[in-house]
């Protein structure tokens, strides 16, 4: 995603300015959610804390998956305005270990919508806050289903507009076909 290089260049703010933008709640103080983006996109940032480490001293994969699930929920629910649940998870790949102390940016987008479901693509970028270098560490695709009164509900339709959205839509459609072939009995 091209947004990541933009964020690298623009991170000129001093540490003094960041506490103003963090929520007051102690529990959620690590989260800074950017609500200024388009309605089918969402960016969630978190500082990778020592309690998220695995036995190798880097971020535990399970911690990352929990964040992926949260950002998929937030992205799909914010898009359709109905509560969504995770139906399936595909192609989660961990490309690089994430060091403790990294500033982790989770970019999520609704790529495709069906009748009651949507696919949310997620990309995790870890930034070293000392030298601001960045690495694409993980990605995954979540199928989220709108649920109301315990049943699947109609999903708001997503129409891709720009070239990037059209590319993601076409790829999501291929994954949907692959998925349905895999689960066919
Ligand atoms: C999500 C849930 C409501 C779907 O109910 P269901 O009766 O299976 O619904 P349907 O068969 O009508 O399928 C609903 C949508 O999921 C899609 N779907 C079904 N199986 C799927 C699979 N294996 N992978 C991806 N999508 C799938 C269907 O294509 C449909 O999407 P569409 O309407 O856009 O075409 C139900 O399975 C559920 O509540 N699951 C538990 C969810 C949960 O608790 N998640 C958290 C886990 S920790």
Residue located nearest, by CA, to atom 41 of ligand 1: 87
Q: Does any domain span residue 4?
A: no
pLDDT of residue 49: 98
In this prediction, residues 153-162 reach a mean pLDDT of: 96
Which residue out of 113, 142, 145, 149 has the highest number of ligand 1 atoms within 8 Å of its CB and is therefore the one to mutate?
A: 145
Closest by CA to 3, choosing from 88, 86, 107, is: 107
Is residue 4's pLDDT more than 50?
Answer: no
How far CA 42 is from CA of 3, 6, 96, 150, 168, in Å, comes to 12, 16, 22, 26, 15
Residue at 177 is within a domain: yes
* Residue span of the structural domain in which 76 resides: 20-184
* C-beta of residue 81 within 8 angstroms of C-beta of residue 44: no
**Residues with Cβ within 6 A of ligand 1?**
85-88, 114-117, 143, 145, 147, 152, 179, 183
> Residue 152 CA: which ligand 1 atom is closest?
3
pLDDT confidence of residue 166? 97
Q: What are the helix (H) ranges across the chain? A: 3-10, 18-21, 61-80, 163-183
Q: In angstroms, rounded to a whole number, what is the distance separating the alpha carbons of residues 143 and 125?
A: 21
Residue among 68, 87, 178 whose CB has most ligand 1 atoms within 8 A, to mutate = 87
DSSP state of 59: B
Does residue 70 lie in a domain region? Answer: yes
At 74 the three-state DSSP class reads: helix
User: Please, what is the average pLDDT of the chain?
Assistant: 85
Q: Residue 74 domain-assigned?
A: yes
Query: Strand, helix or coil at 17?
Result: helix
Q: Is the pLDDT of residue 165 over 80?
A: yes
166 CA distance to ligand 1 centroid (A)?
24
Atom of ligand 1 at shortest distance to CA of 155?
A: 34
Residue 136 belongs to a domain? yes
In a domain, 10, yes or no: no
CATH number at residue 101: 3.10.129.10
User: Above pLDDT 70, what percent of the chain?
Assistant: 79
For 121-138, give one letter per residue: b (16+ CB within 10 A) or e.
bbbbbbbeeeeeebbebb
Q: Is residue 69 part of a domain?
A: yes
Q: Does residue 154 sit within a domain? A: yes
Least confident of 18-27, 73-82, 127-136, 171-180: 18-27
Task: Output the residue whose Cα is nearest ligand 1's atom 38.
Answer: 87
Locate tokens 């990352």: which residue? Answer: 64
8 pLDDT above the threshold of 90: no
Rounded to the nearest angstrom, the gap between the alpha carbon of residue 9 and the centroid of all alpha carbons in its chain is 21
**Number of domains making up the chain:** 1
CA of 147 to the centre of ligand 1 (A): 9
pLDDT, tens digit (0-9, with 9 covering 90-100), for 121-156: 999 999 999 999 999 999 999 999 999 999 999 999
pLDDT digits (tens, 9 = 90+) for 22-67: 344 444 444 554 445 579 999 999 999 999 999 999 999 999 999 9
Do β-strands 117-127 and 41-47 pair in parallel, antiparallel, or remain unpaired?
unpaired
């Amino acid at each position: 995603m091209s947004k990541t290089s933009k964020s690298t260049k623009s991170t000129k703010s001093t540490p003094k300015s960041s506490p103003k933008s963090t929520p007051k709640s102690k529990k959620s103080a690590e989260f800074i959610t950017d609500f200024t983006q388009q309605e089918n996109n969402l960016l969630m940032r978190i500082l990778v804390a020592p309690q998220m480490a695995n036995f190798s001293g880097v971020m535990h994969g399970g911690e990352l998956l929990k964040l992926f699930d949260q950002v998929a929920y937030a992205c799909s629910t914010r898009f359709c305005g109905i509560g969504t649940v995770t139906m399936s998870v595909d192609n989660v790949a961990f490309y690089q270990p994430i060091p403790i102390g990294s500033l982790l940016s989770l970019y999520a987008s609704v790529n495709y919508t069906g009748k009651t479901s949507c696919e949310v693509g997620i990309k995790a970028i870890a930034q070293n806050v000392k030298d601001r270098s960045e690495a694409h560490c993980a990605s995954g695709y979540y199928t989220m289903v709108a649920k109301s009164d315990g049943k699947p509900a109609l999903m708001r339709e997503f129409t891709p507009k720009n070239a990037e959205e059209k590319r993601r839509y076409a790829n999501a459609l291929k994954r949907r076909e692959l998925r349905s072939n895999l689960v066919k009995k």
